[in-house]
């Protein structure tokens, strides 16, 4: 299995290389050259298997011999052992014909644990073989950073430095980053905004001497291995509801388009998915683009579902690549137009996207109202991101095809929004109940490239 860039001008890589590289050198994103298809019998055989076994069968054809079968099984066992629910991604009924896929039973209470835990174990296994060390540096507005620190803490060949904007993440998010005690993970509170943090990380990647010296690597959401890990729960949930003999649809609260794009891959692999519905909050650039064809960023407006506050949705480029019939040059041109302010899709490309995706938007008031309504109707406490999904799913679902909405975070991760809507303050689950008693360890640092590089040099293990 070989991996190619969406812009067509970067070296073709193996799975392992694509995982370690992240972003392609031509600025594009890596995708498999072709997508393996599962037969109806193979899909039917997934029913009732442990999550790790489904993960093995779904992902194995993409790995191209990066690991032996025994190694990959061990990696999967380690990746998912910290989840607090035996099903890992349990499916719960919300209403007639409407189901909630709970993706928040991982160690940091958001769906990002599914991919981050796995990529942590895969990178460690691969580095242990080569004897190399890497330094992961990332910027976060909350969920990605906590998932990364949790996934990489204590791993032998990896050091992790996560930058977050001082004073601008929730208490739960901050504590998830500042309380791991392992010496290889470092929380850095930068004096600046999330955009500053992200810009400094980019600067470090562009300082090639520094990059080579410390073996810089990234784990942001464009990493193909993260997308692949997310294909698995589409498969377990569809099969629980009768696939391959019955079609299902999915609604996905979307920001960077990584999670919903995994659904597209699942469909291409043969899973009988009727519709994939993109649900956005008031930052609705994806909904506008899918309905009008125009992709024109106009500034982020902070919302109560902050993990979806985006204006440049990085993984959307992968969907465009397929909609353009795998024409890397055309995608490249579009991305140049985006740098200059935005782009408009041709009718043909818009139709190609519409064949796979529907979309909808949920305002701030509608998000709160949905949290309130679902608590009353089904005794279910939703996080604001999941509520965006449920509202859009209710508008889009049709009789006869079960709708599965992805619940992307635990309500306790966003207690203020949930309390404002319902009067109830959701409590942390038992495995984190003592989060507010654990000692914190964090370095406050200037928004300055020199200071950051010096800190990384000094604190990474040699
Ligand atoms: C990251 C995140 C999302 C958005 O996922 P994408 O893959 O970026 O579309 C939605 N909800 C929560 C809770 C998240 O952390």
Reported confidence tier of residue 14, pLDDT bands at 50, 70, 90: very high
Rounded to whole angstroms, the Cα distance separating 126 from 451 reads 31
Atom 1 (ligand 1) nearest CA: 307
Handedness of CA 317, 223, 329, 198 (dihedral sign): positive
Query: Kind of pairing, strands 294-295 and 158-165?
Result: unpaired
Token digits of residue 459? 């604190």
User: Which residue is closest in CA terms to ligand 1's atom 11?
Assistant: 408
Percent of the chain with pLDDT over 70: 100
Average pLDDT over residues 175-187: 95
Cβ of 304 closer than 6 Å to ligand 1, yes or no, is no
Both tokens assigned to 344: 């408009």
Contact between residue 105 and residue 112 where contact means Cβ atoms under 8 Å apart: no
Is the distance from the beta carbon of residue 308 to the nearest atom of ligand 1 less than 6 Å?
A: yes
408 Cβ closer than 6 Å to some ligand 1 atom: yes
Q: Could you give the CA distance from residue 253 to residue 406 in angstroms, rounded to a whole number?
A: 7
Of 176, 230, 259, 310, the one to substitute when testing ligand 1's pocket (max ligand atoms within 8 A of C-beta) is: 259
257 lines ligand 1 (CB under 6 A): yes
Between helices 316-323 and 258-268, what is the axis angle to 10°?
40
Probe residue for ligand 1, chosen from 145, 253, 362 as the CB with the greatest number of ligand atoms within 8 Å: 253
Give the confidence band of 195 by pLDDT, cuts at 50, 70, 90: confident
Calculated CA dihedral for residues 45, 46, 49, 55, nearest 10 degrees: 140
Strands 30-32 and 3-5: antiparallel
Is the alpha carbon torsion for 51, 53, 57, 60 positive or negative? Answer: positive
**Whether the CB of 258 sits within 6 Å of ligand 1:** yes
Band the pLDDT of 353: cuts 50, 70, 90.
Answer: very high
Give yes or no for residue 173 CB within 6 A of ligand 1: no
Q: What number does the ligand 1 atom closest to the CA of 143 have?
A: 15
**Ligand 1 atom showing the smallest separation from residue 258 Cα:** 7
Q: What's the pTM? A: 0.95
How many angstroms separate the alpha carbon of residue 44 from the centre of ligand 1?
29
The whole-number pLDDT of residue 72 equals: 98
- Give the domains, in start order, of the chain with CATH numbers: 91-105+224-422 (3.40.50.1100)
Q: Is 303 in the pocket of ligand 1 (CB under 6 A)?
A: no
User: How high is the mean pLDDT of the chain?
Assistant: 95
pLDDT at 427: 92
Ligand 1 binding pocket includes 389 (Cβ within 6 Å): no
- Of the residues 81, 88, 92, 112, which is catalytic? 112
Percent of the chain with pLDDT over 90: 85
Q: How far are the Cα atoms of 45, 272, 370, 384, 418 from residue 280, in angstroms, in the given order? A: 34, 24, 14, 11, 18
Tell me how far the alpha carbon of residue 368 is from its chain's centroid.
23
Pairwise CA distance, residues 215 & 160, whole Å: 11
Describe the crossing of helices 328-339 and 316-323 by its angle, rounded to 10 degrees: 130
The residue with tokens 């601008």 is: 168
Q: Do 178 and 437 contact (CB within 8 A), yes or no?
A: no
Four-residue CA torsion sign, 240, 241, 247, 248: negative
Cβ of 230 less than 6 Å from ligand 1: no
User: Rounded to the nearest whole angstrom, what is the distance from the C-alpha of residue 194 to the centroid of ligand 1?
Assistant: 16
Compute, in angstroms, the gap from residue 228 CA to the centroid of ligand 1. 15
Q: For atom 8 of ligand 1, which residue has the closest CA?
A: 256
- The CA distance from 227 to 305, in Å, is 21
CB atoms within 10 A of CB 129: 13
The confidence band for 228, taking pLDDT boundaries of 50, 70 and 90, is very high
Residue 431's pLDDT band, with cuts at 50, 70 and 90, is confident
From the number of C-beta atoms within 10 Å of its C-beta (0-12, 13-18, 19+), residue 245 rates as exposed
The CB of 112 under 6 Å from ligand 1? The reply is: yes
Please state the separation of Cα 159 from the chain's center in Å: 21
pLDDT tens digits, 291-350: 999 999 888 888 999 889 888 888 999 999 999 999 999 999 999 999 899 999 999 999
- Measured from the Cα of 383, ligand 1's closest atom is 13
Distance CA 366, CA 328 (A): 39
Q: Tens of pLDDT along 134-170?
A: 999 998 877 889 999 999 999 999 999 999 989 888 8
- The CA 349 to ligand 1 mean position distance, Å, reads 25
CB atoms within 10 A of CB 337: 13
Per-residue pLDDT, 202:
83
Decide if 81 is catalytic: no
Residue 88 has pLDDT above 80, yes or no: yes
Residue 220 neighbours by CB under 8 Å, 6+ apart: 22, 138, 144, 314
**Mean pLDDT for the stretch of residues 437-451:** 97
List Cβ neighbours of 452 (8 Å cut-off, separation of 6 or more): 163, 188, 190, 200, 204, 445
Whether 367 contacts 281, CB under 8 Å? yes
Phi and psi torsions of 91, nearest 5°: -105, 130
């Amino acid at each position: 299995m070989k991996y190619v860039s969406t812009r067509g001008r970067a070296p073709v890589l193996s799975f392992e290389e694509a995982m370690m590289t992240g972003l392609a050198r031509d600025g594009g994103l890596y995708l498999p050259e072709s997508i393996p298809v599962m037969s109806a019998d193979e899909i039917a055989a997934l029913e009732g298997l442990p999550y790790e076994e489904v993960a093995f069968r779904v992902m194995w054809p993409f790995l191209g011999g990066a690991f032996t079968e025994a190694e990959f099984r061990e990696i999967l066992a380690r990746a998912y052992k910290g989840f607090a629910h035996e099903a890992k991604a349990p499916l719960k009924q919300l209403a007639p014909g409407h189901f909630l896929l709970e993706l928040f039973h991982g160690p940091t209470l958001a769906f990002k644990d599914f991919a981050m835990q796995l990529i942590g174990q895969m990178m460690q296994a691969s580095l242990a073989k080569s004897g190399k060390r890497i330094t992961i540096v990332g910027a976060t507005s909350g969920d990605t950073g906590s998932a990364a620190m949790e996934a990489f803490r204590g791993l032998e060949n990896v050091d992790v430095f996560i930058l977050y904007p001082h004073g601008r993440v929730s208490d739960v998010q901050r504590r998830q980053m500042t309380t791991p005690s392992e010496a290889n993970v470092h929380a850095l509170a930068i004096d600046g905004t999330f955009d500053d943090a992200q810009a400094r990380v980019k600067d470090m990647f562009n300082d090639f001497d520094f990059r080579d010296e410390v073996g810089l690597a990234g784990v942001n959401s464009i990493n193909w291995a993260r997308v692949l890990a997310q294909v698995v729960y589409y498969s377990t949930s569809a099969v629980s509801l009768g696939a391959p003999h019955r079609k299902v649809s999915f609604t996905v609260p979307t920001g960077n388009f990584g999670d919903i794009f995994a659904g597209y891959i699942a469909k291409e692999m043969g899973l009988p998915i009727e519709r994939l519905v993109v649900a956005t909050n008031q930052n609705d650039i994806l909904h506008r683009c899918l309905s009008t064809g125009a992709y024109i960023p106009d500034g982020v407006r902070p919302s109560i579902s902050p993990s979806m506050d985006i204006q440049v949705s990085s993984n959307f480029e992968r969907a465009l690549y397929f909609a353009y019939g795998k024409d890397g040059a055309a995608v490249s041109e579009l991305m140049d137009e985006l740098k200059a302010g935005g782009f408009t899709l041709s009718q043909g490309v818009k139709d190609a996207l519409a064949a796979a995706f529907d979309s909808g938007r949920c305002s701030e008031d509608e998000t709160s109202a949905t949290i309130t309504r679902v608590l009353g109707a089904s005794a279910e406490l939703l996080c604001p991101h999941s509520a965006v999904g449920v509202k859009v799913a209710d508008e889009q679902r049709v009789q006869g095809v079960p709708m599965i909405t992805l619940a992307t975070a635990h309500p306790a991760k966003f207690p203020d929004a949930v309390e404002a809507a319902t009067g109830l303050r959701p409590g942390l689950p038992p495995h984190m109940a003592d989060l507010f008693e654990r000692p914190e360890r964090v370095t406050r640092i200037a928004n300055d490239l020199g200071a950051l590089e010096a800190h990384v040099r000094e604190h990474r293990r040699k």
